[in-house]
Structure formats: C-alpha cells, structure tokens
Amino acid sequence: MAKQKNLQTGTEPVLLNDEQVREYIANGYVKIELSLPGEIHEAIARKLDLMVERGPNLGNNVLPHAPEFRHVLNAPEVRGALISLLGQDYMEYPHRYNHNQAPANPVPEDIAGAVARNCHQDSYTPLARPRQHYPRFARIIYYPRDTPVEHGPTHVTPGTHFHKRLTDEDGAGAIPVAGPAGSLWITHFDVIHGAGVNLSGAVRHMSKFIYIQRTETASPSWHCDRERWQNPLNLKAPWNLELTWSHMWDWMCGKRDRYDSFTAGHGRAANGNLAAAIDAVRMGQPLDGVLAAIRRWAAMGPEAEEAVPVLATLLNQDPQAARTEATYALGAIGEPAVETLIARIDEAGRTGWEENAPVSWSESAVRMMDEAHALGAMGPAALAPLLGLLESSGEWGRINAAFALGEMGSQAGEAVPALARRLDDDSHRVVRTTLDALGAIGRGADVVVPRIARFLVESRPDWEEVLTRTRAWTARDQVRINAVTALARLGASAAAAEEQLVTALDDPCGYVSQLATDVLLHVGTPTSERAVIDLLMAQRWDPSLTEARPW
C-alpha cells in the first residue's frame, strides 16, 4: 500500500508487519518502539510533575498542557501503527487522561491481589457505547519516564478484549506492560487492564489517548505479506480463539467474506460425528475440547444446523472463551442460525429480560447480546431479518438490531433508509445506537446527513435528563456526540451539515465541538476551514508567560 508522509515532519509512517497485527488481534495489544530523543519524554514528564504538584488532573486538556505530546503522537512509528490498525484516515477522539500513580501507602500485603482488584474494562467516555469486537477503537498507553514493574505500570490481561465481564481468572492473569522512558503500547479498547502497585518513591505517569477508525478498510493497511490468518508466534492469550481471530483478521483485510481464512484452513466438509460432538459439549467436556468442537461445527458451515441450539446455549455466559467462539461459529453456520438468533433477541426485547436479569443500559458501556454480534458477523444472510427486528416493539430488540446492522459495515448499505427512520425513535438509546451504526456503514450520506445534522441544534424535552451522577451529561449530550462522530466518519460527504457544524463549535460539550472541528476540516470548503482556524486562533495560549497554566 502507498505510504502517507507526516505533514509535520515529512517522515513516512512505519507500518506494522503481519506478526504485529496478529499479536494485536489475539493478545489485544502490541508494543511500539519509538525513535524519539529522550529530551521529549522528559519535557512531557516535567510538565506532568507540575500538574500533579499544583493540580488538578487536567484530563482532556493534558495535551495542550504538554504540547510536546504531539511529537509522540505524530512519531512515524505511532502514526504507522495507527494506520496499520485503523486505516489511513483514523481520527483522534477528544478523550485523554494522565493516570498518576502515587507510591503505595501502605504497601498491600497481597500485591497480585491488589492488581487484580484494579483490573477493569474502560467505559466509553463520556457515556455509553456498545462494546465492539471489531477493532474500531484503539487506546495508546505511554510512559514518559522509566516504568519498571516496581513503579506500578499498567497490567494487561491478554486475550480479554472480547469479554462481556471481568472474571477472577482475568484479574489473576494480568501481566505488566513495563519499560524504559518512552515506552508505548496500543491496545484494543476493551482489553482488561489495571494499574500496578507503585513500590517506588515517585509518582508514576501513564498517559492514554483514544483513536477511532473513520472508514471501513478495503485492503490491509499494514505491511501484509500473507492475507491468510495464522496464530501469532508470540501468543499470550490463554485459549485458542482461532475462529474469532481469523474473522477479525479478514475484517481488517477488507474481505467481503470474513470467514475466508478460516474456511481456507479448515474446509467446508462434515468433520466427524456431529451428534456425538454435540452430546459431549452438553455433558461439559473440558474447555479446550469445547472450543475444538465449536471450530469443527464452524468449518461445516450450514451443514452444522443441528449444532445451532447447543451453540446458542453458550452465548451470554461463562466461560467467556466458549461464548466468544460460539458467537462466530453461529455466524459461520449462517442462514440456518438466523431464526434462532433473531427469536432470542426479539424475546429479550419484548420481555425486558436478558440472562435472567432486567435489561439495563449502563451509562459506561453497553454489552450487546452475543446474538447481535453473530448476526453482524454473518453479513447479508441476516440483513432482511434484522430489518424486521428493527421495527420490534421492544426497545432492547431495536437496539440490538441497529447494532448488528452497524457491525456489517458497508454490507448493510441497503439498511440505511430503515436506520434513518429509526432516528425518529422515541428512545434516545435507539437513536444513539443507530447513529453509531450509520457511521460504521458509511453509506447514504444524501439521506442521513440532514437527519443527523439536526441533532446538533435540536433537542427533545425528555432528553434533558441527567444520566450519570459523576458527570452532568444528559441524553441530548450523548446524542450530539454520537451524531457528530457519525458525521466525522462520513468525512467530506457530511458537507451538507456545514452550517450546523459551525454552530457546534460553540457547543457546551467539549467533545461535540472538538469532533466538529474534525468534520469541518474534512469538509474542506473555504468557509469550513476558516471557521476552524478562527476557533483555534482564539484558543491559542502563550506558554512563555507563566509556568503554571490556569486551565
């Protein structure tokens, strides 16, 4: 693929290779080696020291507090890695944070237990978005100073980025990502991680930045020598999820058939006694045997219709590895699994119950039903049934249907008119999910842009409710954030929304205004660019006047 030079430095991005991308898909993270001088890292660290000393933690404003971060984020190795994982036109999300880990006082007796208790999956700041298996969101973890294990680096649990919940085993399996000054990792957004215990005498800094895939990739955006999946040599994940990993690989390669690698490696022939394998799984054989059986059924494709009921029983529950592989096996089986998957979502939506508990929309992250992930992985065979489910009387059913259509990406182009109608839904949760789906599909701008743009300037009385205690965010705030994110994914095709986007530059929600600048730059008209320049000129800060910045 053609390399894209960094406009700031003129250097070409350093793309990842096949093995690095395989590690990212299977383990959930990859280390990036930087070639920056140590003075840049120390300059960042000194400014973070000042922030800790004088307070408060500047959160999203940590980048303007230490502008030297731009040298890290624009380094050829970082830019190349982000291109490799998210595509040429990835975008930076407004959320940033510096995690300052003070020396432990007192030092816990059980350090491993303390690390396990710190483990979590991040929320989709500022409010809820569905967790996504496809790697559309990536997180940078960066240390400006030496961070050996005794300084309490972040710990990551390999292979947990498809999990719906944190298990005891996940916390126990966390390993440190430690290293010298300038160490940097890129992780799948949903990988389980947590702070270590700082046994040193100094504050440990770890800064994180979030990036999003803008558009669906049509071909590998890394140095790809082999478009067929194989498990990585440096495999840290505890269980073999070859079916899921190969599906993600084919998605990142831009293949229309996201089971191409798996089918090529396993064929499409019946494999052994199907009934006997089903009975063995039902009787609770060891997990590695269950996973092997699931892969055999996936290799059979539609011929494994008899296995659909037992695969469905593995969804939405522990063990996490089995539910993940079962999800993508049902996608591989295809049309014979559609009726079962649709019926399970429809029932959950109509009754308001899932997993024997009330359906709750957590304003941190939403865990969609595995059935929706399976239908999204299936592609066109599930399109018509999902369009029917999109009209369900149950809110949860409509949410899952919109999400699944979004997971199909451009393969769900025919669904754009129906999704556009769902933007008039009474539920802000349905509207929010639909906005994300339209952004992921990336089609039908002439139909959807006017409908999306109105959310930047309009509201509904029942959307003014505050949704969280920790932040004064309303449903309307999140609708606007999702709306402007969808427009950002449409890029120059969002030109019809220029007037509303210029208005959004003064939005009281900083996420909305920052994302609006991104869209206006991609629209690229003289008026849109002038609006962005005027905003940035007004926000300029003279760092030479005082050491401390009153943000």
Task: Judge whether residue 287 has pLDDT over 60.
Answer: yes
pLDDT computed for residue 548 by the predictor: 56
Q: Label residue 409 by pLDDT band (50, 70, 90).
A: very high
Are 86 and 22 in contact by the 8 Å Cβ rule? The answer is no
Q: For 214-233, write each residue's pLDDT tens digit.
A: 999 999 999 999 999 999 99
Task: Judge whether residue 147 has pLDDT over 80.
Answer: yes
Residue 289 is which amino acid? G
Start-end of H helices in 383-540:
383-389, 395-408, 416-422, 428-441, 445-453, 475-490, 498-504, 510-523, 526-538
Q: For 447-504, write each residue's pLDDT tens digit.
A: 999 999 999 998 888 898 888 766 778 999 999 999 999 999 999 999 999 999 999 9
Asked which of 6-20, 21-35, 48-62 is least confident by mean pLDDT, the reply is: 6-20
Closest CA to 160 of 298, 311, 29: 29
C-alpha span between 56 and 45 (Å, rounded): 16
C-beta neighbour count of 453 within 10 angstroms? 23
C-alpha span between 226 and 228 (Å, rounded): 5
Rounded average pLDDT over 280-302: 90
C-alpha span between 264 and 482 (Å, rounded): 38
C-alpha span between 333 and 355 (Å, rounded): 24
Token pair for residue 41?
A: 């890292």
Closest CA to 504 of 451, 444, 453: 453
C-beta neighbour count of 534 within 10 angstroms? 12
Q: For 538-550, write each residue's pLDDT tens digit.
A: 988 777 766 555 4
Residue carrying structure tokens 């489910």:
389
C-alpha span between 384 and 414 (Å, rounded): 9
C-alpha span between 60 and 187 (Å, rounded): 19
- Whole-Å CA distances, 30 to 81, 161, 184, 213, 445: 9, 13, 9, 17, 35
C-alpha span between 511 and 408 (Å, rounded): 27
- The better pLDDT of the pair 261, 129 is held by 261
- Whole-Å CA distances, 167 to 8, 135, 158, 164: 44, 22, 13, 10
Asked which of 143-157, 269-283, 531-545 is least confident by mean pLDDT, the reply is: 269-283
How many residues appear in the chain? 551
C-beta neighbour count of 102 within 10 angstroms? 11
Are 431 and 448 in contact by the 8 Å Cβ rule? The answer is no
Domains, in order of start, for the chain: 18-212 (2.60.120.620), 334-442 (1.25.10.10), 444-551 (no CATH)
Task: Judge whether residue 360 has pLDDT over 80.
Answer: no
C-beta neighbour count of 108 within 10 angstroms? 12
Task: Judge whether residue 267 has pLDDT over 80.
Answer: no
Residue 15 is which amino acid? L
pTM here is 0.94
Residue 171: CA atoms inside 13 Å, Cβ hemisphere, count? 14
Widest distance between CA atoms in the chain: 77
CA dihedral 404, 329, 320, 344 (to 10 degrees): 50
Three-state SS across 99-151?
Answer: EEECCCCCCCCCHHHHHHHHCECCCCCCCCCECCCCCCEEEEEEECCCECHHH
C-alpha span between 123 and 121 (Å, rounded): 7
- The SS3 assignment for 184 reads strand
C-alpha span between 260 and 379 (Å, rounded): 13
